Amino acid sequence: MRRIRRMALLLTAVTATCLSATLLVSPASATSAAPTLPTPESEVGVTGTPFTGTRPDGTVYGLIDAHSHLFMQDGMGGAAVCGKVFSRDGIETALRDCRSHEPHGLGALLENLTRDGSPIGTHDTTGWPTFADWPAHDSLTHQQMYYRWVERAWRGGQRVLVNDLVTNGLLCSINPGTYQSCDEMTAIRLQAQDTYDLQAFVDEQYGGPGRGWFRIVTSSEQARQVIEEGKLAVVLGVETSEPFGCKQTLRIPHCTRADVDAGLDELYDLGVRSMYLCHKFDNALCGVRFDEGSLGTVINAGQFLSTGTWWDARSCPADQPHDNNPGNGELPPALEDDLPPVLPLYPPGTLCNTRGLSSLGEYAVRGMIERNMMVEIDHMSAKAADRTLDILEEEDYAGVLSTHSWMDERYLDRLYALGGFATIYGHATHELVEEYERTAAVRDRYGAGIGFGFDMNGFGGTPPPRPDAAGDPVTYPFRSFDGGSVLDRQTTGERTWDVNADGVPHYGLVPDYVEDLRIVGGQGLIDDLARGPESYLRTWAAAEAH
């Protein structure tokens, strides 16, 4: 029992690391009226008119983030992220630190461990208006998607945002400060409502329903129209560990086919159009792709606490799709002296999860096909992803996604052959360029555009400043990739951020990151990014037409 308590402490402390305007010009073509904003409010730092319409060949144009979490503030019991995306009481209320972090960050266990590697640490908790210590690229427990920062990304050329509704019931149950329900479907419903509430909030600033730049869409045709109007098309997805209550204990499922049908119907009615069937822990639907090293040890502890079983990893061929090595009991350095190694031990070399897609999981995949929903195969074990692709190929179904670099790249050819869509995690600049170049050949065979999966607010970390930025920096002000806007450094309250020094501390610096990618990766990379929304819409439309 003592070991279980220690594993719970370890999981609580570290697992969250992986869940893996200066002048405001209201473009008449994108919004019908100049906005009426609260006072005070964050600046955006953008002038000019966002690109509208289509390109000469009739395709849409822009950027897509196919994997981020707007409302993690209401995931994991409401205690995982400090600060809100918006508040009707103003920015002073929205962007404040958690009470549990007082005084001076001493109570911020997760923040301290994920940022400094030690449970003991401090940070300035003021928030608005000084923001001395957060948001920052390495501060994982503070709000990174305040709505005005998202607005800056839109004005800088982003046209699609997939808002993955996210939570984890186990983390919720053991996380200090939890004050909301730990039922995963309850959290999903709450975050869906949050998204609709934000749409209404933005609409009010622009004169009424339908007039704002933030538009929730439920079909590819709606999304295409919104993008052509120069607005941001927001798609709802789901990334959670136990959808529809489909957890397992000692490999015994807690759900039935009726639960799967009812859950898929409810999600569809909420507006959800893509989802993961498993995430981090094996569940009644599928086995997962492991996390690596000491982090893998931590997640494996969560797997045991959630399911009563450890990951079952066996040796498999290195030249075939496989899973990450989950580590052999190693712990994060800050906890090595306080906690014992966590069993089990695994063989060296290439490993695969023996758990694939269950019969109930196959039923869920086919249920998603029947409802024309897109299937996310990141986080599935290699065995589960392989069987899922088999089913999709049998059905000639294009609706398959890999949106944040958590799938074995050997599956990219099968994904693109189906007509699917893939994006790259929002890595450090050089790392993203390397992955883009490594996967270019298979992508080029199918003429596919590309996008990001920032996993913002998802505890995966955001791009740090480029180490060699001093030699070839982003120069402010700069023009957006589409040529429609001019962007200066972003300021909120008394704090101004610069991508050269700060990396991507919050969503408002996504356009700055794109400019950094252009400097390092060249115009060809930017051109492929600009084709991402069109590729995504074609995948979605093909799924709808099935």
Alpha helices in 206-318 (DSSP H): 220-228, 257-270, 293-307
Domain that includes residue 258, residue range:
2-20+29-545
List the structure tokens of 108.
Answer: 């911020």
SS3 166: strand
| CATH code assigned at 292 | 3.20.20.140
CB-based contact 384:365 (threshold 8 Å): no
Enumerate the β-bridge partners of residue 55. none
Distances (CA, A) of 505 to 102, 215, 430, 454, 512: 22, 25, 17, 12, 11
The predicted structure's pLDDT at residue 15: 41
Which DSSP helix (H) or strand (E) runs through 11?
A: helix 2-14
Provide the residue-wise pLDDT of the chain in tens; the chain has 546 residues: 333 334 444 444 434 333 333 223 333 344 556 788 888 999 999 999 889 999 999 999 999 999 999 999 999 888 889 999 999 999 999 999 988 888 888 877 778 777 777 778 889 899 999 999 999 999 988 999 999 999 999 999 999 999 999 999 888 887 777 889 999 999 999 999 999 999 999 999 999 999 999 999 999 999 999 999 999 999 999 999 999 999 999 999 999 999 999 999 999 999 999 999 999 999 999 999 999 877 788 788 889 999 999 999 999 999 999 999 887 766 666 555 555 555 688 888 999 999 999 999 999 999 999 999 999 999 999 999 999 999 999 999 999 999 999 999 999 999 999 999 999 999 999 999 999 999 999 999 999 999 999 999 988 889 999 999 999 999 999 999 999 999 999 999 999 999 999 999 999 999 999 999 999 999 999 999 999 999 999 999 999 999
The predicted structure's pLDDT at residue 460: 83
The predicted structure's pLDDT at residue 331: 63
CA 314/CA 323 separation, integer angstroms: 10
C-alpha torsion sign, points 24, 26, 30, 33: positive
Going by their DSSP bridges, the two strands 248-249 and 252-253 should be labelled as antiparallel
Strand 485-487: give its sheet, edge to edge: 46-48, 485-487, 478-479
CB-based contact 394:365 (threshold 8 Å): no
Torsion of CA 45, 48, 52, 55, to 10 degrees: -100
The predicted structure's pLDDT at residue 263: 98
CB-based contact 162:65 (threshold 8 Å): yes
CB-based contact 144:506 (threshold 8 Å): yes
The predicted structure's pLDDT at residue 173: 84
Q: Structural domain tally of the chain?
A: 1
Residues 6+ apart with CB under 8 A from 398: 418, 419, 420, 539, 542, 543, 546
First to last CA, the chain: 51
CA 156/CA 63 separation, integer angstroms: 9
DSSP result, 347-365: -SS-EEES--B-HHHHHHH
CA 294/CA 291 separation, integer angstroms: 9
The predicted structure's pLDDT at residue 497: 98
